[in-house]
Structure 1
Amino acid sequence: MIKSCVTIALVPQIKTGPWIYWEDLEASIAKAAQLGFNAIELFTASANAIEPSVLTGLLQNSGLNLAAVGTGAGKVIQGLTLTDPNPTIRQQAIAFVADMIAFGAPFQAPAIIGSMQGNVVAGVEREQALEWLADGLNILGKVAEEKKVPLIYEPLNRYETNLFNNLSSGVEFLNFLKTRNVKLLADLFHMNIEESSLPESIRTFGPAIGHIHFADSNRRPVGFGHTAMAEIATALQESNYQGYVSAEAFPWPNPDEAAQQTIKAFREFFKD
């Protein structure tokens, strides 16, 4: 069954980003539960930013699951990426993500590597940067496997990374890895920029997809842009996707209305 999810960010430094709810974890979880979401996707400053017992209590009281945890604060706050030319920084990036894996695993929630993948920077050959990325993903894929969760890797659009920008190149790279425990995140906003056909890419690479980010063409909630969502939903269902469809979208026009529009769109296209 495809399940609904909404994002909650607790990192002030990324407050301008595409997250539906902000700052107040308890209130946000209560609102998500009231609207009928199945889960939340959580962005925190670090793995120890929230006491696990507190999160457990909030989730149990609400009936929600934790779908995934983001790692982007590692880059935004600490400047860490898996492709930094400095080996010390790469090791710190691996340690940060490993801690996030350990934080999410008791909730069966995978960690997402998006912005922490980094870029091929000036003075570094692409092959070298990809070797560093592969090393990091191989290590972290094994860490996640030991915790009995997958690791999620997100191709980003060309304006955010010069590594991998679409599902095809992402799958090709994952097949090159030693670990078989890394899945792709199919972000509909990034795909709208990079894919020639979102439904066809989903049908082609569906088995590699482990998580979906649910946003319209302008990164507002689905229904506030021009993405042909019906065809995408059909492709996901035909691909037998069984994971979460998570609203990583701008809180437009405000968090409450964005959340309401998201669950309305989810029910329209996935009929929960």
Structure 2
Amino acid sequence: MISSAVTISLVEQARGGPFVLWDDLAAGVRLAKELGYDAVEIFAPGPDAVDRGQFKSLLEETGLKCAAVGTGAGMVISQLSLTDTEAAKRQAAIDFVKSMIDFGGEFSAPAIIGSMQGRWTTDLPKDKALELLGEALSELGEYAKQYNVPLIYEPLNRYETNLCNTMADGVQLIESQSISNVVLLADLFHMNIEETCIAQGLKDGGRHIGHVHFVDSNRRPAGNGHMKYEPIVSALKEINYQAYASAEAFPWPDPTAAAKQTIEMFQKLFR
């Protein structure tokens, strides 16, 4: 069964980004429970930005799970990239992701690699950038095994990376370098830009897909754009997807309304 989740951002530098709930972790978790979500996805500045004891108590109080933890603050705040041309900076990026894997691991939550994948440039040809990215994913996927969770890798649209843009690109990266314990994140917003057909993209990802960002074509909450969800739901059933559909969307028109709109669409489509 597909479960629901909603994003909570604690990163001031990401203000205006596509996260539904903001700032107050306790209020966000309790609202998610009130609205009927199964889990929350946390975007934090770093592993020490969350009081782990408080978070554990909140999850116990509400019965919610932690679906995943983001690592993008490493790029947003410190400009860290797994494909930086400087080895020391690549190591700093790997160390940051490991710290987030440690944080998420306490709650059986995988870490997500999105913006920290970086880009290829004139100083770093694409084949070399993909090699560096693959090496980092391989190391980090192995590191995550100690918590019995995978690492989640997210292909992004062309405006955010020029490495892997489609599910097929992600599969090629994982399989060509024999990377283990790494799954793909299928973000419907990015797929709407890059895939010829979102449903086919999901089928291309197949067994490699381990997380879904549930959002509309314009990055507003599901139901506020022109996304056609019926073929998407059918494709997810066809590939036997059984993990989270997590709301990573703009808080439009406001966080509470966005969270409410999303769970209503989730219930309509998946229940």
The TM tier, using the shorter chain, reads over 0.9
Work out whether residues 68 and 104 of structure 2, in 8 Å CA contact, stay in contact via their aligned partners in 1.
yes
1:256 aligns with 2:256: yes
**Structure 1 outlier segments of 4+, above 3 Å:** none
Work out whether residues 184 and 205 of structure 2, in 8 Å CA contact, stay in contact via their aligned partners in 1.
no
Pairwise CA distance, 1:56: 0.3
User: Structure 2 length normalisation: TM-score?
Assistant: 0.98
Distance 1:71 1:237 in 2: 29
Distance 1:162 1:140 in 2: 21
Pairwise CA distance, 1:127: 1.7
1:212 aligns with 2:212: yes
Distance 1:203 1:124 in 2: 31
User: Match of 1:158?
Assistant: 158
Aligned AA (2:166): N
Which 5+ residue runs of structure 2 have no aligned equivalent?
Answer: none
Summarize deviations over 1:54-99 as a string: whole Å, max 9, x none: 1100111111100000000000101100000010000000000001
Work out whether residues 39 and 67 of structure 2, in 8 Å CA contact, stay in contact via their aligned partners in 1.
yes
Within 5 Å, give how 1:100-119 maps onto structure 2: 100-119=100-119
Within 5 Å, give how 1:131-146 maps onto structure 2: 131-146=131-146
Distance 1:178 1:196 in 2: 26
Pairwise CA distance, 1:138: 1.1
Aligned residues: 271
Aligned AA (1:232): I
Pairwise CA distance, 1:225: 0.3
Pairwise CA distance, 1:13: 0.3
Within 5 Å, give how 1:1-272 maps onto structure 2: 1-271=1-271
Summarize deviations over 1:236-263 as a string: whole Å, max 9, x none: 1121111000000000000011011000
Pairwise CA distance, 1:201: 1.8
Distance 1:201 1:128 in 2: 25
**SS of corresponding position for 1:224:** coil
**SS of corresponding position for 2:124:** coil
**SS of corresponding position for 1:102:** helix
% identical equivalent positions? 52
**SS of corresponding position for 1:146:** helix
**SS of corresponding position for 1:107:** coil
Summarize deviations over 1:3-29 as a string: whole Å, max 9, x none: 000000000000110000000111111
Deviates most, 115-124 or 2-11: 115-124
Q: CA RMSD in A?
A: 0.9
User: Structure 1 length normalisation: TM-score?
Assistant: 0.98
